[in-house]
Amino acid sequence: MAALEVEGLARHYGEREALSDVSLSLEAARTLVVFGPNGAGKTTLLRVLATLLRPHAGAVRVLGSSLPDDAWAVRGRIGLLAHEPLLYRELTARENLRFHARLHDVAEERVEEVLEAVAISARASEPLRNLSRGMVQRVAVARAVLHDPELLLLDEPYANLDPAAIELVEPLIGAASGRTRVVCSHDPGGGLAEADLVLGLRAGRTVLLRDAAAVQPGEIAELYR
Amino acid sequence: MRRTVGALLRKELLVELRTLESVPGMSLFAVTTFVVFHFALNRNSVDGDLASGILWVTLLFAAILGINRLFVADAEEGGFDGFLLAPVDRSAMLVAKVLTLLAYLVVLEIVAVPAFALLLLGPSLAGAMPGLLVTLALGDLGVAVIGTLVAALAVQTRARDLLGPLLALPLLVPIVIGGARATSPLLALSHPTGAPARWLLTLGLYDLVFGLIAYALFDFLLED
């Protein structure tokens, strides 16, 4: 069964159409990479799949549950890494993760495990406002995978991360994690390398939807012209 | 639900302890207002209706400061989304925010009521305390419930600093009326009596009605 099934999805903000007639299907444990210029609708698509925005038209099924009616059934099975870290600046990394662990009914030992995995344990007792953006992004990665989600929704996940940090988080959110992933990217080379399926959006409409093997980097670059 | 409320409440109090953005401001505002009344009225002491009115209006405006800040950290730092992604009963956030605002109001009153007694009040508070505590508790509960509801609505708009007070004040007027009427006999200079039961009952009923409305509406306010 497909992990994601989207048929004729539309979403608007007031008069402005953010997504229009978007359809796709993604098998479990595969990676969909979404390309498109700013304002193309990538983040809106992620937020609809994350159950944070209601679709205004079309059918959306995530991990077998229909949105928005059965959204409650998938919430704990999704990990979202958004532009905002979804963390509190005044709390420490450990306090933030413990807070999310309680919300997701996850054992406290898992908090230490993910802190260790993103190599932030030594600074886990400092408020986030003292940490660099790259470090906060690592904590956000830890938060996104804390509850071991089946589906990862990643909005430019490597933003603010140096090469060493990317290597650190790769086993958690990369293809090797074995999770179904939807990744928004602006990096044609890197994005194509990790994609099984490519979706190109422009002004909320699908302009490219194909297996990654059949996509040329030039076609991705064309989306941004 | 209890675990979720506990986690949210702990987070709220930790953030407030670290930032001190709400409670100190509310308390300072109340004390300053009493000083302003002291000089503006050109009286050394007040009692009865006037004392009761000054106390409740000051507490109301101080509470508005806390209400305006209630969801700011969640909205600005993405905490709302973090919570909405969790497989938990969303009413937990309503309960946690009401308890948070209640805690703020209790601390505010621990500072403001003695300051009021010191700066403005003629009669002694000693005999009035039991009745005053009951009245304040009923008033606080209503302010906390309505304040949470209004703050959740206002924070999703651009004009939240304006919309919060504009929505909250009309809804909180009955609490001020009930609270002031119930407190007035307690602060009378001659023959102070207990708080009138009908005003306490009115406050209790208002709390109950808005408690039910908040419970019914809160999920929709969090929805997109």
Which ipTM was obtained for this model? 0.87
Asked whether A177 and A200 are in contact (CB, 8 A), the reply is no
Which residues of A are less than 8 Å from B86 in CB distance? 75-76, 100, 103-104
Strongest mean pLDDT among A181-190, B102-111, B115-124: B102-111
Q: Does A105 touch chain B (CB under 8 A)?
A: yes
Q: Rounded distance, CA B157 to CA B190, Å?
A: 49
The pTM is what? 0.89
> B14 and A82 in contact by Cβ < 8 A?
no
Task: Give the residue numbers spanning the domain of B212.
Answer: 2-222
Whole-number Cα distances in Å, A45 to A48, A101, B20: 5, 26, 37
Which residues of B are less than 8 Å from A104 in CB distance? 86-87
How many CA atoms are closer than 13 Å to the CA of A147, on its beta-carbon side?
26
- In the stretch 85-144 of chain B, residues with CB closer than 8 A to chain A read 85-88
Query: What is the arithmetic mean of pLDDT over A116-122?
Result: 92
Q: Does A102 touch chain B (CB under 8 A)?
A: yes
Which residue in chain A is spatially nearest to B20 when comparing CA positions?
A: A90
Q: Rounded distance, CA A218 to CA A223, Å?
A: 9
Which residues of B are less than 8 Å from A87 in CB distance? 77-79, 82
**In this structure, what token pair is assigned to residue B95?**
């309960």
Class of domain A2-86+150-223: alpha beta
pLDDT digits (tens, 9 = 90+) for B200-212: 999 999 999 999 9
pLDDT tier for residue A178 given thresholds of 50, 70 and 90: confident
Which residues of B are less than 8 Å from A53 in CB distance? 224
Q: Rounded distance, CA A166 to CA B194, Å?
A: 68
Q: Rounded distance, CA B100 to CA B6, Å?
A: 11
Q: Residue B192's pLDDT is what?
A: 60
Give the pairing type, strands A57-62 and A65-67: antiparallel
Residue in A101, A112, A108, A167 with CA at minimum distance from that of residue A134: A167
- Counting the structural domains of chain B, the total is 1
Option in A76, A85, A127 nearest B86 (CB): A76
Q: Residue B191's pLDDT is what?
A: 64
Give residues with Cβ within 8 angstroms of A127, minimum separation 6: A89, A90, A91, A92, B18
Question: What backbone torsions phi and psi does residue B175 show, to the nearest 5 degrees?
Answer: -70, -40
pLDDT digits (tens, 9 = 90+) for A47-89: 999 999 999 999 999 999 998 888 888 999 999 999 888 999 9
Q: Rounded distance, CA B182 to CA A63, Å?
A: 56
Domain regions of chain A by residue span: 2-86+150-223
Give residues with Cβ within 8 angstroms of B80, minimum separation 6: B71, B74, B222
Option in A75, A84, A105 nearest B77 (CB): A84
